[in-house]
Amino acid sequence: MIYGMKWCSTHGSRTVWGETDSLLLTNCINKVWKPPWMISRLIEDIQKLVEENEFTIIHCYREANKTADKLASLSHGSNGIQIFNFFSDLPTSIKGNNMDK
């Protein structure tokens, strides 16, 4: 999440909605819960990005966002950061999730 937020901030995208299926992450970023010490520095960095920009972080269930789930799975098998600027750049398996919308 933080890499995407940094990319948006660097490239001038100020109004961004971030969705995550991690309720822990959402509530820690939004200062509802205190983060576990192991991720507290990362959460602070994310909170700073949220405050400096017009970023909104919300929770959604994994089943409601299959596209993001597939992109996350794709990233686990990748050696580097992948950026898709256009829908046409997405892998076919991910494009299919949006065809029913």
Query: What six digits make up the tokens of 33?
Result: 């819960």
* Entry pTM: 0.75
Structure confidence by residue, pLDDT tens digits, 19-78: 898 999 999 999 999 999 999 999 999 999 999 999 999 999 888 778 878 887 887 878
- Name the CATH superfamily for 1-60: Ribonuclease H-like superfamily/Ribonuclease H (3.30.420.10)
**Per-domain residue ranges for the chain?**
1-60, 63-101
Name the residue with tokens 């490239």: 11
Which pLDDT score is estimated for 75?
79
Q: Given pLDDT bands bounded at 50, 70 and 90, which one contains residue 17?
A: very high
Distance in angstroms (rounded) separating the CA atoms of residues 57 and 46: 10
SS3 of residue 89 by DSSP: helix
For 3-15, what is each residue's pLDDT tens digit? 889 999 999 998 9
Residue where the block lists tokens 């949220």: 50
pLDDT of 25 reads 96
pLDDT at 46: 97
Residue 86 main-chain phi, psi, to 5 deg: -135, 150
